[in-house]
Amino acid sequence: MKDKIILVTGSAGFIGASLSKRLLENDYHLIGIDNVNDYYDVSLKRERLDILKSYENFKFYETDISKDDEIKDIFSKHKPDIVINLAAQAGVRYSLENPGAYVESNLLGFFNILENVKNLKCDKLIFASSSSVYGHSEEVPYKVDGSTDKPVSLYAATKKSNEVLAYSYNNIYKIPTIGLRFFTVYGPMGRPDMAYFKFANMIASEKEITIYNKGKMSRDMTYIDDIVDGIISAIGFDKFSNDKSFEIFNLGNNAPISTWDLLNHIENSIGKKAIYKFEESEIEVKKTWADISKSTEYLNYNPSTSFKKGMDNFLDWYKDKYL
């Protein structure tokens, strides 16, 4: 497997960089693509990239997956065997401010990846989906075959669209394809737009936090190392449960954490109390909770990092870097 060339889009992102580092440490030949946009702190993305660029088996291209000609040239030059698409415009709330970015990256960009995978006849496509596709589903924990036809944000709608597009391409062109629904990924060097990171920033600087829906929400927070384990298992996976060689898996922790438990843990670590106000929101789901039984059976996926251990790892990194 290590003689395979792997292409990772979104390689300067939190999950993409963490996965790339693990693969590079294990001597894979890696091609990275990222547009390094300013949706959040670019210096953090550059810091991740600097780590990756220290490996001789890493080649990086700073471009956008929506740029058809540039992506086509990269595929033609390197002929990747396995493509892992983690590039996307992230964030539920930002989709209210800049919907065009989601169409460009998550739809047009993903279409370009599908076309190039098809044309090159790659061995496998793995792509990032999201727990957001479950919307306001009351069927918890969320099963892979549960309802995903009522997304409550544009971000969720684009991720559901990715699954539908990938399925159709797999049906026609027979490229083995795996979609991974990630559940609230966190850890050191994570995304500053995520609630846990924002809470730490606001508590440390004694600024007011907006708590949505009176804090009556919970998220299936999943530590980055466990997510990377799951993706690497998907790379080697070949025991598809159907003749279409297409699978969707949940990568979560099967243990939702409430807004208040998250907030209290960060308060205790930083040593300050949060200042907050309440606001109602229609695009925030009440609970995310992954049924990971299929992932455990097929990918041997067994997340082992407790919330306390994982959040302490993040907070140790955060305090060392910012405080």
- What are the residues whose beta carbons fall under 8 Å from the beta carbon of 323, sequence distance 6 or more? 204, 270
What is the average pLDDT across 137-159?
A: 94
Sign of CA dihedral 37, 38, 40, 45: positive
Q: In this structure, how many other beta carbons lie within 10 angstroms of the beta carbon of residue 132?
A: 24
Q: Which of 4, 19, 57, 6 is nearest to 231 (CA)?
A: 19
Q: What is the rounded distance in angstroms from the CA atom of residue 47 to the CA atom of residue 45?
A: 5
Domain architecture of the chain: domains with CATH: 5-322 (3.40.50.720)
In 3-state terms, what secondary structure has residue 302?
Answer: coil
User: At which residue do the structure tokens 């894979």 appear?
Assistant: 28
pLDDT at 194 (0 to 100): 97
The set of catalytic residues is: 155
Extract the runs of DSSP E, i.e. beta strands, from the chain.
5-9, 29-34, 58-62, 82-85, 124-130, 177-182, 185-186, 208-212, 218-219, 222-223, 246-251, 257-258, 275-279
Report the 10 Å Cβ neighbour count for 173: 13
Within 10 angstroms of residue 2's Cβ, the number of other Cβ atoms is 10
Write out the DSSP string of 105-129: IIIIIHHHHHHHHHHHT-SEEEEEE
Q: How does the average pLDDT of the chain come out, rounded?
A: 96
User: What is the pLDDT, as a whole number, of residue 60?
Assistant: 98
| Mean pLDDT score, 112-127 | 98
Q: 79 is written with which tokens?
A: 């002929």
The strand pair at 218-219 and 58-62 is best described as unpaired
Other beta carbons within 10 angstroms of residue 54's beta carbon come to 10
User: Which residue intervals of 208-258 are DSSP H helices?
Assistant: 224-236
pLDDT of res. 70: 98
Q: How high is the pLDDT of residue 1?
A: 72
* φ, ψ for residue 110, nearest 5 deg: -65, -40
**Sequence-ordered list of residues with C-beta below 8 angstroms from that of 70, at least 6 positions apart, any chain:** 61, 63, 64
52 contacts 31 by C-beta, under 8 angstroms: no
Model pLDDT for residues 224-259, shown as the tens digit of each residue:
999 999 999 999 999 887 788 999 999 999 999 999
pLDDT tens, 274-295?
Answer: 999 999 988 888 899 999 999 9
Q: What is the pTM of this model?
A: 0.97
Is there a cis peptide before residue 141, judged by omega within 30 degrees of 0? yes
pLDDT at 169 over 90: yes
pLDDT at 96: 86
| Tokens representing residue 49 in the block | 């990239």
Residue type for 22, please? R
Average pLDDT in the 160-183 region? 97
Q: What is the pLDDT of residue 92?
A: 86
The pLDDT assigned to 242 comes to 74
Residue 91's Cβ-side half-sphere holds a number of Cα atoms within 13 Å equal to 20
- Find all residues with CB under 8 Å of 262, minimum gap 6, and list them: 195, 196, 199, 219, 221, 311
